[in-house]
Amino acid sequence: MSLKLTILGCHSATPRVNANPTSQFIEIKNHSFLIDCGEGTQVQLRKNKIRFSKINHIFISHLHGDHFYGLVGLVSTFMLLNRTTDLHIYGPKGIEEVIKLQLKLSNSWTNYGLYFHELNSDKSEIIYEDNGWTPYVRSIQVYEVPGDHDGMVLEPNVRVLAAKMARHPRAV
């Protein structure tokens, strides 16, 4: 199975010279996923030569700014690049409201289908599944993993069990 993970940013609540807010790009065969979209994600995508058109599913783990402040900019850039392919955004309750409000107040729009999938379950559940068969990947599933610092688990052909994530002792 071909799996490629590109860390675009991690462990930085603010942009720094050598670190960026959270964002990861995952490719599994013909499937591409963006996990979180902190500030600077677009620049990191360009630096890593990742085509924006490959991104059709974005998963936002939780509504802390370092995980989603780059999202409205990316959604707007897709419009400027004349995107026509649907975009699906998965995230906690409130993600649709905050992104649509930013687009409205900036007099922006999309020329493609923008679909929000708000998550509010208190138990782990499948939030995305693609049973498109390829020789090495029979299915891909993404699970919501509720907790204090909510998360998601990408699962290609295997069962992944995840426990509730504990808040870091120094976290506010």
Catalytic residue annotation: 66
Ramachandran region of residue 47, left (φ > 0), alpha (ψ -120 to 50) or beta? alpha
Q: Which of 89, 77, 145 is nearest to 115 (CA)?
A: 89
| Residue partners of 130: CB distance under 8 A and separation at least 6 | 31, 139, 140
Residue 75 phi/psi, 5-degree rounding, is -60, -40
Q: Which of 13, 7, 22, 34 is nearest to 142 (CA)?
A: 34
Yes or no: say if 41 and 50 are a contact pair by the CB < 8 Å rule: no
Side chain identity at residue 158, one-letter code: V
CA distance 36 to 103: 19
